[in-house]
Amino acid sequence: MRRFRTGLVFLALAIAFPARAQDRIDVVASFSILGDFVQNVGGDRVNVSTLVGPDGDVHVYAPSPSDARTIAQSKLLVINGLGLEGWLPRLLQASGSKAKIATFDTNKQLVGAIQSGQVQWAVDQQPYLQGYLAVDGLWLYKTNGNVSGGGDPVLTGPAFIDSSNIASVAQFAANGTR
């Protein structure tokens, strides 16, 4: 639970890092559900752009040159991961983006990406039924003050993975169980 709260604080700080109150961070979300999440957590501290809108299909999405420009100008890119955004690696390369990446994915490739600093953090989906409960948990904490486990540890694995705890998850990710 402590890592969950720490991760939530990290997310809030990442979104709120502008130096002045009038500064807003440009965030790109790969699809509308994640865009809604970022907007609800970030509030007036973020400018959220969503690549795939509510009526779009992320599986068949074809990025445009304007999407590359949008990503190039962003500071944070929030993605699902798990290969859902199969078009994203080419788009990132084409954009030349230096945006920090946050994901809701855990796999062996993620381990290296976090260790190298390419990905800032990930929500570990295993502890929270493959991801949707992780997003719901963050939303419930933000909107209603709910804390999973009633404040006691939820012993199902780390909820957030970053450079401080990636080593404890690396073996499980390599085995394909995370």
Q: What is the pLDDT of residue 22?
A: 65
Contact 163, 6 (CB under 8 A): no
Q: Does residue 177 form part of some domain?
A: no
Q: Does residue 67 form part of some domain?
A: yes
What is the number of domains present in the chain? 1
Q: Give the residue numbers spanning the domain of 64.
A: 2-164
Q: What is the pLDDT of residue 14?
A: 54
Q: What is the pLDDT of residue 39?
A: 94
Q: What is the pLDDT of residue 7?
A: 44
Q: Encode pLDDT of 17-50 as tens digits.
A: 544 556 899 999 999 999 998 999 889 999 999 9
Under the phi-then-psi rule, with left for phi > 0, alpha for psi from -120 to 50, and beta for the rest, what region is 68? alpha
CATH code for the domain of 73: 3.40.50
Q: Does residue 136 form part of some domain?
A: yes
Q: Does residue 175 form part of some domain?
A: no
Whole-angstrom distance, CA of residue 94 vs CA of residue 71: 10
Residue 168, amino acid: S
Q: Encode pLDDT of 99-158 as tens digits.
A: 999 988 777 888 888 998 888 888 776 655 555 666 777 778 888 888 877 777 655 554
Q: Does residue 80 form part of some domain?
A: yes
Contact 147, 1 (CB under 8 A): yes
Tell me what the mean pLDDT of segment 89-95 comes to: 92
Q: What is the pLDDT of residue 143?
A: 86
Q: Does residue 170 form part of some domain?
A: no
